[in-house]
Amino acid sequence: MPSHSSFLLMALLYFIILFTISSSSAQGPPSPGYYPSSKLNSISFDQGFGNLWGPQHQKVDQDSISIWLDNSSGSGFKSLRPYRSGYFGAAIKLQPGYTAGVITSFYLSNNEDHPGNHDEIDIEFLGTTPDKPYTLQTNVYVRGSGDGNIIGREMKFHLWFDPTQDYHNYAILWNPSEIIFLVDDVPIRRYPRKSDATFPLRPMSAYGSIWDASSWATEEGKYKADYHYQPFIGRYKNFKISGCTVEDSASCRPPSVSPSSSSGLSRQQCTAMEWVQRNQLVYNYCQDPKRDHTQTPEC
Ligand SMILES: *[C@@H]1O[C@H](CO)[C@@H](O)[C@H](O)[C@H]1NC(C)=O
Look at residue 4 and tell me if it is in a domain: no
Q: How confident is the model at residue 62 (pLDDT cuts 50, 70, 90)?
A: confident
On the question of pLDDT at 46 being above 50, the answer is: yes
Look at residue 72 and tell me if it is in a domain: yes
Q: How far does the centroid of ligand 1 lie from the alpha carbon of residue 135, in Å?
A: 28
Look at residue 27 and tell me if it is in a domain: no
d(CA 276, CA 151): 24
d(CA 83, CA 56): 27
- Measured in whole angstroms, how far is the alpha carbon of residue 242 from the centre of its chain? 18
Q: How far does the centroid of ligand 1 lie from the alpha carbon of residue 72, in Å?
A: 8
pLDDT of the residue at 23: 47
For the segment 80-118, what is each residue's pLDDT rounded down to a tens digit?
999 999 999 999 999 999 999 999 999 999 999 998 889
What does the pLDDT average to over 131-150?
Answer: 83
For the segment 11-36, what is each residue's pLDDT rounded down to a tens digit?
555 554 455 444 444 589 999 999 99
Look at residue 19 and tell me if it is in a domain: no
Q: How far does the centroid of ligand 1 lie from the alpha carbon of residue 231, in Å?
A: 11
DSSP result, 97-144: S--TTEEEEEEEE-TTTSTTS--EEEEEEEP--TTS--EEEEEEE-S-
Question: CA 70, 104, 269 angle in degrees (round to 5)?
Answer: 165
Q: How far does the centroid of ligand 1 lie from the alpha carbon of residue 66, in Å?
A: 21
Q: How far does the centroid of ligand 1 lie from the alpha carbon of residue 211, in Å?
A: 17
Q: How far does the centroid of ligand 1 lie from the alpha carbon of residue 77, in Å?
A: 24
Look at residue 23 and tell me if it is in a domain: no
Look at residue 146 and tell me if it is in a domain: yes
Percent above pLDDT 90 for the chain: 80
> Sheet harboring 58-61: ordered strands across?
58-61, 64-69, 232-245, 83-93, 168-174, 178-183, 186-192
Kindly give, in sequence order, each residue whose CB lies less than 8 Å from that of residue 92, ignoring residues fewer than 6 positions away.
Answer: 104, 106, 125, 163, 167, 168, 170, 234, 235, 236
Q: Give the CATH number for residue 237.
A: 2.60.120.200
pLDDT of the residue at 143: 87
Domain count, the chain: 1
Helix (H, G, I), strand (E, B) or coil at 50: strand
Residue 106, domain extent = 41-295
What does the pLDDT average to over 49-57?
Answer: 97
Q: How far does the centroid of ligand 1 lie from the alpha carbon of residue 227, in Å?
A: 8
For the segment 167-215, what is each residue's pLDDT rounded down to a tens digit?
999 999 999 999 999 999 999 999 999 999 999 999 999 999 999 999 9
Q: How far does the centroid of ligand 1 lie from the alpha carbon of residue 70, in Å?
A: 9
Q: How far does the centroid of ligand 1 lie from the alpha carbon of residue 199, in Å?
A: 43
For the segment 258-292, what is each residue's pLDDT rounded down to a tens digit?
998 666 899 999 999 999 999 999 999 999 999 98
Give the total residue count for the chain: 299
Q: How far does the centroid of ligand 1 lie from the alpha carbon of residue 71, in Å?
A: 6
Q: How far does the centroid of ligand 1 lie from the alpha carbon of residue 279, in Å?
A: 41
Look at residue 94 and tell me if it is in a domain: yes
DSSP letter at 32?
-
The residues carrying an active-site annotation are 120, 124
Look at residue 256 and tell me if it is in a domain: yes
